[in-house]
Chain A
Amino acid sequence: MFKIENLKKESPGKLPILERREFLKMGFVVTGVFAGGSILSLVSNAEKVFASAGEFAEKYPYKPHYSMVIRQNLCIDCERCLGACRTTNNVPDYGYRTAILEKHAPEAIGQKTEFIPVLCMQCNDPPCVRACPTRASYKDKNNGIIRMDEKKCIGCKACMVACPYNARYFNNEKHAIDKCDFCFEARLSKGEKLTACANVCPTGARTFGDLSDPASEVYRMVHQLQKRVWVIRAEAGTKPNVFYMKS
């Protein structure tokens, strides 16, 4: 007769060591640790891409592989980039495609404030694309830009939650999520070479270009060892295409 008292208890203390080991191993396999963490990755070819500071390029899957290098110490928060972005991309007052963060260090010697321009990092492994249930958010196969198919967007905001960079807002007029697309629709697709923000920046804090082109300035800024280059929230594993450094 089946009696609950007679069943073996299944608390962790009762598990045989071997069984527990097998269980843990299984966990590792699922999370992809044994395969270099790539098992669950959905953007396979982007794995080979240089995207974190400290590694070098082997192959870029996009042509052009759009990228931006932000020389943080040059930003003076004049916010001309924000203005240019608003007019170029019809960004309403309540939203933003790019922003400038402010960092205070009252104990620092000399300069005590730092401005940090942020925008969509156009990740090679974009959590927003993975989170989107309707494929409204997608990574452009030609140039790597994370774009929005507004007609497909149902406004669930899952991408907003998934984005580690807070780079998205809900646009009431479009009734869709809106985000930085490196000015692809407004400028790049019309033959312009620069984003509106990079074009208008008076100090050169924002440099825009093709990371796969050795002649491009962004290529030269990223592929060197003299000055440290970093990405924001590297630990999120998103492999951003927006890099930061100081000049």
Chain B
Amino acid sequence: MKKYFAFLFTAVFFQASAAHLTLAAPEETEHGGDIIYTEPLKAVLFSHASHVQESGLSCDSCHDGIFAMEALSVQKNKDFTMASLYQGKYCGACHDGSMAFASNTQCARCHIGVKGFERSQKKGK
């Protein structure tokens, strides 16, 4: 519990200092943040931070080829399913087991579930 509070405190502190930083350096890389898909089922988290900052992908690795710039636009497509991913569409373009972990493994790495979705909504508020 103590650890948690310590973490929370540092997180808040860090965020505050980060805000100052962005004011000082507005040219820092911008990305789309967390995208949470809720169709066809709840919920899948796409983290721009982990793809752009950690994995070092550039915007044009995915935009506008695999994904449109508009967030969540692909989930309107009827074929936005795991079956399509296995055929190399959408996330499956990279998540094929060679470039990135295969899309039929580690399900709950992207699928955050209803619980994860609700947590993200609370965080947003």
Chain A residues with CB under 8 Å of chain B are 73-80, 100, 102, 110-115, 202-203
Contacts and interface: CB of A to CB of B under 8 A. Distances in A.
Interface in B93-115: 101, 106-109, 111-115
Contacts of A76: 41, 107-108, 111, 113
A202 B41 contact: yes
Contact of A111 (B42, B109, B113, B115): B109
A74 B113 contact: no
B109 A77 contact: no
Given A74-B107, A111-B106, A111-B108, A100 B113 contact: yes
Contact of A77 (B101, B106, B111): B111
A75 B112 CA distance: 10
Given A73-B107, A77-B108, A115 B113 contact: yes
Contacts of B112: 77, 113
Contacts, number: 48
Interface in B25-41: 41
B69 to A, nearest CB: 27
A contacts with B: majority SS: loop
B116 A113 contact: yes
Contacts of B109: 110-113
Given A100-B115, A113-B116, A78 B108 contact: no
A79 B114 contact: yes
Contact of A102 (B42, B106, B115): B115
A203 B109 CA distance: 15
Given A76-B108, A102-B113, A115-B113, 17 more contacts: A73-B108, A76-B41, A76-B107, A76-B111, A77-B108, A77-B115, A78-B111, A79-B113, A80-B41, A100-B113, A100-B115, A102-B115, A111-B106, A113-B109, A113-B112, A113-B116, A115-B108
A31 B115 CA distance: 43
B52 to A, nearest CB: 19
Nearest to B119: A102
Contacts of A80: 41
Which of B42, B108, B112, B115 is packed against the most chain A CB atoms within 10 Å?
B108
A110 B106 contact: yes
Contact of B114 (A74, A77, A111, A112): A77
A115 B117 CA distance: 14
A235 to B, nearest CB: 26
A102 B117 CA distance: 13
14 contacts: A73-B107, A73-B108, A75-B107, A76-B41, A77-B114, A78-B42, A100-B115, A102-B113, A111-B107, A111-B108, A111-B109, A114-B108, A202-B41, A203-B107
A67 B101 CA distance: 33
Nearest to B113: A77
Nearest to B101: A110
Nearest to A101: B115
A79 B106 contact: no
A79 B106 CA distance: 18
Contacts of B114: 77-79
A77 B113 CA distance: 4
Contacts of A110: 101, 106, 109
